[in-house]
Amino acid sequence: MKTALVTGSAGFIGYFLCRRLLDEGFRVIGVDALSDYYDVALKQRREAMLKESPHYRCVHDKVETPGLLMGLFAEETPEVVIHLAGQAGVRHSLEDPRSYLESNIIGTFELLEAARAHPPRHLLIASTSSAYGANDVMPYVETDRADHQISFYAATKKSTEAMAHSYAHLYGLPVTMFRFFTVYGPWGRPDMALFKFTKAILNGDPIDVYNYGDMKRDFTYVVDLVEGIRLLMDAIPERPANREVPEGDSLSPVAPWRVVNLGNSDCVQLVDFIKAIEAATGCRAKQNLMPMQAGDVPATWANADLLKTLTGYRPKTRVTEGVKAFVAWYRDYYKV
């Protein structure tokens, strides 16, 4: 039985990934601190469903805890490691930047040190579309320079990309970085727009719409995202001979390291996203139009050609379908 170690296992994406791996016959070691950044009960419910499998082991601790991951790598010798743990949220990084330093940067350092001592076949690490920062040429392509992050959250994630590259170069660790694009779906995070909008609309409360509604996002359905991760697990990067990198590939010329966009390749206007929620709930939204928040960007849009080249797969769920699935879950979970 193959062993996978997943950090952030009780999180939104972590839960879906662990469930997918368990269904496929993996033994899964899940690490999650069950932090109170959002409703802990939601994380506990996700984890409880994972624990129904005899092949799931959960470890409750912070990834930045010195020696924690080193011990787990030594004990479990996972073949594949997917690092999803970290402090999320652009806006929260303005209020509590130290938590991002500790979880995202120090936590990733602990992971890399453990992987150096006990190398898995493939190490996969979550980054973010926010790493593209002030880039205004879209859709975003992995080979574009990404030097001007505009939130501390994005800066910490871009830092982990550079850290992982150095370990890949120095120690031959095969590393794939993911840049996620606005992931949504059932069991989603309460701090994300879809959750907050659905809750407010069903309660008859107004929703805060930033940049006066002039926002675009590449909304990526969580099941599609997990499918992309699973397929990339088998697309292990190799250090190129003579620094020759195929055209369009983000593979490093000096390391078995690459970065891959995981997005729907569809730039959706926020007003259309809200209309999809209204259609799914059967309620009209009361909109409180507001200026852009600091650290946010007006648009994201992924070029997913590299994912297609590496795996033959491209995310395909339409926003209307994904929103409908989320609203159905929300009504059932909260009995509204």
Domain regions of the chain by residue span:
3-184+220-265+301-315
The tens place of each residue's pLDDT in the chain, 336 residues long, gives 899 999 999 999 999 999 999 999 999 999 999 999 999 999 999 999 999 999 999 999 999 999 999 999 999 999 999 999 999 988 899 999 999 999 999 999 999 999 999 999 999 999 999 999 999 999 999 999 999 999 999 999 999 999 999 999 999 999 999 999 999 999 999 999 999 999 999 999 999 999 999 999 999 999 999 999 999 999 999 999 999 999 999 999 999 999 999 999 999 999 999 999 999 999 999 999 999 988 888 999 999 999 999 999 999 999 999 999 999 999 999 999
Classify domain 3-184+220-265+301-315 by CATH number.
3.40.50.720
Catalytic machinery residues: 153
40-44 long-range contacts (CB < 8 A, ≥24 apart) are: 42/187, 42/190, 43/10, 43/11, 44/10
Token digits of residue 137 = 């040429």
For residue 147, count CB atoms less than 10 angstroms from its CB and return exposed for 0-12, middle for 13-18, buried for 19 or more.
exposed
Distance CA 76, CA 51 (A): 18
Listed in sequence order, the residues at least 6 apart from 204 whose beta carbon sits closer than 8 Å to its beta carbon are 283, 286
